[in-house]
Structure 1
Amino acid sequence: MALGDLKEEPGSTPVRERPASLSQAQFDKVMRKRKRNSAAFMNAFDRYLIGSIVQITLTNFVTYDYVQFSPGPNLNMVIGPNGTGKSTIVCAIALGLGGSPQILARANEVKDYVKKNKEKATIEIEVKTEDGTSVIERSFKTTSKSSTWKIDGHPTTEKNIKEYIKKLNIQVDNLCQFLPQDKVASFAKMKPDELLRETERAVGGDELLPMHDKLISDGKELKAVEEVLATDIEALAVLEKKQSSQSELVEKLRERERRLHEATVLKMAIPLSEYDVLHAEYVEIKAEKKDAKLKLDAALAVVAPVSDIYGKLKRASQTAKTLVQKTGDWFNKEGLNKVTAAQEQIAENEEQERSHGAHVRTAKKSLDEWINKLDVARAKRDQSQREVDRIKSDLDRAGLLDASGRQLDPEKSPEIQEIHERMTQIKDDADNCYAEISGLNDQKHPLFDGMKRMEDRVVQLRHELGETASVANRKLQALQRLNETAYRAVQFLRSNHGLQFEKQVFEPICMGINASQPEYARALETFIGYNRLITFVTQTENDYKTLRDYLYDVKKLRVNVVCVQNIRSEFKSAISQAELDRLGFDGVLIDFVQGHPVYLSALMQYTGVHQTPICLRADRGFNYNQVDNHSNIQSYACGDYSYSVRGAYGSKSTKSEAMRDAQILKLSVDVEKQDQLKQEIQNAEDAVSQSKRDLDSLSAKEKVMRQRFEDLKRERASLNERKREIMDRPKAYERKCVELEQYELRVSNVEEALEKSRAKLHELNSQKQRYAIDRAKLTMSFVKRHLESCDMLDQLIQTTVDRVQLEAEAGDASIVESRAKDQNTEIQNQYARITEKFAAVKAKAEVALRAAQAAVPESTSDAVREEVAHVKANNTLEELLDQLTRVQARADILANTDPKVLEQFERRALEIDAAKAKIAKIQQNILKLKKSIENMRQVWEGQLNELVTKINNQFSKSLQNIGCAGEIKIGKEEDFNKWRIDILVKFRDTEKLQILDDQRQSGGERSVTTITYLMALQQLSKAPFRVVDEINQGMDPRNERAVHSQMVETACEAGSSQYFLITPKLLPDLEYHVNMKILTIYNGDYQPEKFDIEGFLTKKKLRMAAS
């Protein structure tokens, strides 16, 4: 394979084959260096922009085994048959400069771009930088999805590559800079709304598309909220309708509640009334019981003596019974209990002896444990002794012990002294570093502050400049709405039209004048007139003829043109100021116009603005008759009306008309302020750049000093660690000595505990013998107590016989008492009946009292209590029961209505209130959202209009250059998602401008339109190079030739971006420019091993010359 530029510059040594002693990479480096040294290359190198591609080298990439070529700084046409690898060059540029495979719409992974049957591919792209050139290398394998990156041979990361590419202003994912073959068709098929979004993304900066997206989302949100509002309003109407329909049912339910309340009051009053009745009966029966008790007491007095004798016998019997009980208790306590206690003491002694045996076993086990502990303590003591001896030997070798074995002060050792000296030096060096860093920071702070102020000033100035530019654009748009022909003529005059004028030619008068105060704008438009406002102004007769003939005959634009040769320096009123003041005028119209002297001279020459008075307010005693009869006033303005004075046959008449609002002059542009703002912005940006350079210099110095400071800190930490190690040696010796003493003490304590354990075991064995002796003594005591208990049993038997005799005598006395009491049975029965009746009445009264108390709970209000008391006092119990029956019957009749209706009614009332509050809140939110949308729309629409105007200017100009016409408009809809860009074109003079679609225009015409639109976008975006792949597909020869000529003209201008045009076909005799470079790809399966294209071309030229 070969490329058309693989040739040496004149004067260099030809090299065609790589010597066997050089690798391919070494050979490429030699070739690049030799080429860079050539004079021809150095001349061309200056024309490369920063970020332009100087050379491309591919190895094992798609169709190429190896290729290297150098594109030119301007237009590069890459040509060759289909399938030779033209689009592969596009892929290499995209992938080699950090692009993703997705932007190419071909393979999904980078490993798919490795040539078949090869393992690894490499892309090397050399780009121009401020310091010369840099080579960006990307390598990838078929076995991995990742890539390795290098810059000038140094490995780096993909993130660093992308940041480096971004600094060079290279954007391979931007269609305005990089348009692969597969993206051309998709761009041409875009719907108008998609075209708008892609245009915003391509040339709208960082704010335009996000603002559009925000307007779309806010618009959707507004629509959703309005739908919710409509739903809520409809729901509220349904609720209010239901509420109205249930009002009658609710009234019945409320009546039932009143009846139930009456029943509740009656139910409280009835228990109180029942209690009153029972309480009266209770008082009566209580008196009867008192009389019966008196009669019973009299009858009982008769049998009192008999009862007295019976009582004494009964008490004696009881005393005997008590004595028997005490004797039995004494026997149990002094006899049986002592015998039982002796038995328990014997059992306790046996239990203590068994427990003591367990203590003996525990003591033996403890003795064994102390013996083991003593062995462990002695072993640790011996180990510690050995460590003390070792550390002491180390100290002795280090010279830290004197002859007597005492430790010396480690601070006095030579090594410590050296460390102290070095640390003192480090501190001095660190203090110097810190002082220098502080000094650098002190220098940076004022630079930072100044740069921040200048940056803020630039933002402010750009904002002010943007506002003035926005006013000028709106003025131009207003002209377009008023007169499309004049607008197109302005666009032509602003373009690179190629006409030669003797002096400056001025745009329509409306574009160059301003009202000094907005209130005078409509009067100026009224008296200057529509035709004069859209009139172009020249300063010579030749310029007048040139402009008028070209616009009329060539451009077919019928516009007004005037010539003003007498340019005035003063613009005075034809009426004196004193006369104007006398008549009540503010002045004449020329006093309130601002603009270039040519414009003002034209107004005075072709209009009467210098002799037309004006008065803004007509309410200050204005004398119309005096003005109408004035000899020098033919017309004037007063308030909202214009007046024309005409005289005929010795009489005058005045005609008045209401003045319409101003259309163009209400927008004022301060050109002088625009120039001043641009100069201030340039000065501020220069100051910011200088501050950045100063800050970078100071930051570099600070970085060096901080590195020095960190090195000193690390050295000091290392010295401190060494010093700690030396100082810790004596302390370690002391710790081990203390540890040895502790182990010695531990051995002593364990030996002492061992002796105590042995003594305790001996004592326990002695105690075991004492338990056996105590048990023999307890057995003898038990036998003695058993004999004493037998004597106590005899005494208990005698006491029991005496008690039985007394009980028999008391029984006889009881029989005599019973006979006396039988005589009073009737009296007792009568008293019992009364007592029983009293108890029953009392119980009923108590029940009634509790019922009455329960009927009126403590939580009952005072008002209800008063109502209950009133009802009870004015009705008997029977009347209360009757009223309760009637009230409950009425409540039962009303009970057929669902009681939940009232609950629903009240709940629905709350829902209605909540719905009204919610609707009010939603309405407030809608107002806020609408205001936010309107504010953002003004900003977005203004920027979008300005952008589309620029695109339209370039687009229309490009189509005019090829004999066609076109226009770009914004299609506006209520839904921001439906806003669109409409492209209107016409390719024949007999046609009108029509919207571009696949029905009206041919495929070639659509291709021309698409390419022209893309080129218009590209003119608005700055880039070091651009790539377009096969954009001439489907064009007819005429359009292809015209588009090609325009592209050559644009891409070959001095200072233009580098351009790559990929095409498989070319027409003959296309336009050529000296700054173009043709790259021809010769690629295929049957390539000769050696082929000298330069020699081939030389021979071809000689043959053509000979023939």
Structure 2
Amino acid sequence: MRKESHQLLVTGSSSSSQHPKRRDCLAPDNHDIEQDDDDDAQSVQSDANEEGEGPSQYELMRDMGFEHLQYEEGDDMIATQRLEQRALRSAAMADDISGENRRAMNGIIERVTCVNFMCHSRLECELGPLLNFIVGENGSGKSAILTAITLCLGAKASTTNRGGSLKNFIKQGEERGFLAVWIKNCGDDAYEHDVYGDSIIVERHFSKSGTSSFKLKSGTQRLISTKRADVDDIVEYFYLQVDNPLNVLSQDNARQFLNSSSPALKYKFFVQGVQLEQLDKDYELIKQFLDAHTERIPQLEARVAQLTEIHEEADRVQKVIEGNKEMRAKKREYMNQLAWSQVAEQELVLQNYDRSVSEALRNIADAEQLRDAATQKLEIEDENLRRAKENLAALRSEEDGYKEAVDKATEDYNAASAELRSLHADERDIHSRLKGFADRVRELEGKIRDERQRLEDTSGDSRRETQARLDAAKARLQEVNQDISREIERRPSLDEQAAAARAETERIGQEVERKMGDVKSREARIRSLQQSRGSSSPYDAYDNRMPQLLALIDRDVRFSRKPIGPLGTKIRVTKPVWAPILEKTFGASLNGFIVTTHADQQHLSALIKRLGMSNVPVLIANTRSINTEGKEPDSQFDTILRILEFDDPLIRDQLIINSFIEQTIIIENRKHAEQIMFNGPAPQNVNACLALHDKKRGEGLRLATRGGNNVSTTPVVPNLTQKPRMKTDVSSQIDVQKEILAQNQHELDALRTELDCVRREEQHRGKEINTHMRRLDVLRKTARSMGATIREIEEELDVFDGADGRLNIFEQELAVAKEKREQFGGQYGDVNIRKTLQNAKVEETKRLLDAAKTTKLDFAARLDKANRTKEKREDLRSLALVAKNDAFDNLTEQQEIKAMVDRQRDEQASVVEEFTNHAAAVCPRRVDIPEGETHASIEKKMESLVAQLEKRRKNLGMTDEEANNRLVDAKAALEKMKTVCEVSKKHIEAIEVALCERLSKWRLFQRRISANSRTNFIYLLSERGYRGKLLLDHKRKKLRVQVEPDETRRKVSGRDTRTLSGGEKSFSSICLLLAIWEAMGSPLRCLDEFDVFMDNVNRDVSTNMLVDAARRSVGRQYIFITPNAIQGNARHAPDVRIIRLTDPRQRTLDEM
């Protein structure tokens, strides 16, 4: 229960930080203790304060009307059951004196050293890993050990109630003090073990001047750090909680809690000890932070509105400036027109030559494009041929492996068969020997009957009666032995049936798991389709950077022709049932783009690489359409091409080249598809066939022939998590997927029913074996009993006629013959079992041999396919090489034509060169002159523009650059403020959700920790026969204890602790402390002078209770301080270390 509570605490606070910082849990002051005698008055005053002030909004949100505390009875019942289970486990481990306890590998204190601390010049204490009792007289340094641990691990001096500052702890007459604590640091979860080693040494130095410092050292005394924050991190990592008033109970706190604390103070100790108060403060701080930031939202929105007005004003001014820019550009244009108007006529002549040159350039560009496409095609075919050759070589390198696998499987099969034949021979030999001894038994039994008849004739009625009893006993023994033999012979059959039932159960169980996976995948597919139907973007099925890539393509003007893609968005499937299978068939091609030049391919590939996208192929297409006339199958067949619609014919051509869509037919029925593809030669112009799987709805099959009887059937399994990339009727796809899902669920239900049946059969076979074993035990016991009876009767017969020697010899021989018969009968049964197992081994090796042969045949088919692919790639490369040579010839011809046109243009250019140089001096860049414009009209327009620009500049009062900077700054400020506002709203919403969740866990933690404490308190009281209750009033923040020490007063609810004797009160308080400790998660628990007011009886019981509770807390270290000696078994237990301290003054005398 303590572990669960601690886990809930960690879960509730872990989202703030990895190691949440704790505030100091201050012990209550003396004023609170003085009010103990007036509990009622204090309670009334507290209630009055609560009613007067009223709960805060956070408290209402946290408590939720205390509805979670209405299930106290049920919570206590659950806590009681857990406590009983733990008691049972402890009882089971009663032989181990340490119970469930085990030493922790880290987080425990190994040693404490004090120098010039309090009244001690030097005080050292070695602590055990589990239970430590520090005993000694007053002034010997017992409490100083706890104080040193508290201060050295970072707590404030005021938390010890022994001084206000560290300088008060320095020994009188000394200037400096020093504390050191060794913390164990082993195990897998050690703290930075590579830095600190097996121990972490924490040192705290302080002086009379008020200075204080920390040092962190490794186990080898190497200095690691001097930062207090590092000390806090280590304390937080090991969850030591030295500032928790219930974790380290000093003398004052122990007296307050154990003897004189009020209900309110007990409740305060409780919520501090189990961290409820700290969590409450943390969450209240979050609520205050949330309220403060919520109040800022209106201010942020007002600031956004203000910045919007400033931006609108700056934008208005900028638009005016933009108008001025247009006028200035017009002015520059007029100036350029004036400069070039004198050369306009000569340029008109030159333009005709330019058009001729441009046409020649276009022809050359087209020729270069054809050359690049042919070159790329040849490179692709070279690469395809290389890959085909590598694939063929790789397959051929695997050929020996497949042959060796078949040879190995054949060898295993032959060896298993030989072993089986050997077992058959052994079975025949043993059966022959068994039959021989059975015949010998029958022969001797006949001789014994004859001998007994002879003796009977000579011995009279008494001998006959005894002999009759002997015969009856032996006959009964023979029947029992026969029953034993039948049961032994029956065992192999039972084992085979049970093994078969187990195998069937395992097989159907695996089918159920696979079918459940199909159902989950199908449901995911339906959700994906529904999301794609509700999505407004056609690119949801692609990389999330696809819209960014498309935007770059739209803005880029360097493409000779805009790339087409992604291809999936440009294809529509007219028959939705085939959409998932075609998505799998086309694969990554649907993510790709199509361009028409090699330069465009390189440029687009660079954009894709810049965005970090992958699996986006870029294909180069020829603008000439592919003619499929005479190359498609008969019109009676649907092909992939015939059920697709394309937004661009280039997409169709690429899929024809890469996927043979014009020669791949589609047939829904698998049997019909197999008849068409495999019964005789495949139809004309049919490369492959796609069919729907007849047993796995939603999946497909690809059927292909490779010549002759070499056929293949390859499964096509769609990716159910892939959203549709091609356009189709999504509703129809959803309906199809729902039908498939319904069928899968129906099949799953049938498999579950079948699994229940085979499990019942398996249980039945198991019961049969158990019944067989019980019957065999009974028969063997009966046989032993009958053997004893026979020996007794034979002893009686020995009296008659001196126990005839001939009869004895026969009986001895009979006993030997029966022993041999039983021996060979057992061997016969063993051989039967071995033969059954060997049969199974032979079947398994035969199955492996068949599988190896099948794999080898598949490999041969793949090898043949790779060889034919290589030959096909060689032919395609030859065609590509011819096309490349033609393209280079065409390019040379176009370049010669361009050279002739260039010469003619240069002749005309020399005519206008003089005019052009003059105009270039005014305007280097050539401009066009509008039709109908003259030099004078242009000059008049320019003068008008100059006057307008001067007037606007005077009206604005700022330059263009100042106006532009003002607009940029206003826009940046507005965007930043909008972002701040939106982020603040999102953060507030997220914090509200997190706070509600944490408060819900806080209430659950409060509920569970209360139940655990109540139950543990009752359980601990029962150790002395006491009865009582722990009354936790979370509304009024009171913790009351009712105890009834008198076991005979069953009907009395209990007395207030103030009416108890000192020992009873101390014992009850110890029970309360242990109940709360059970709920705490710290690995260190310390208690100072817990038995100061106890008599010897209560002290012994309390000590034993503390020891038992400590042993139940696995991995926890306990330090108990008492001035009294430890009695009983605890002092000799291996997990208990008793540390006896002496008065430092006595130590000085001893040294003298």
TM-score when normalising by structure 2: 0.26
TM-score when normalising by structure 1: 0.27
Choose 1 or 2 for highest CA Rg: 1
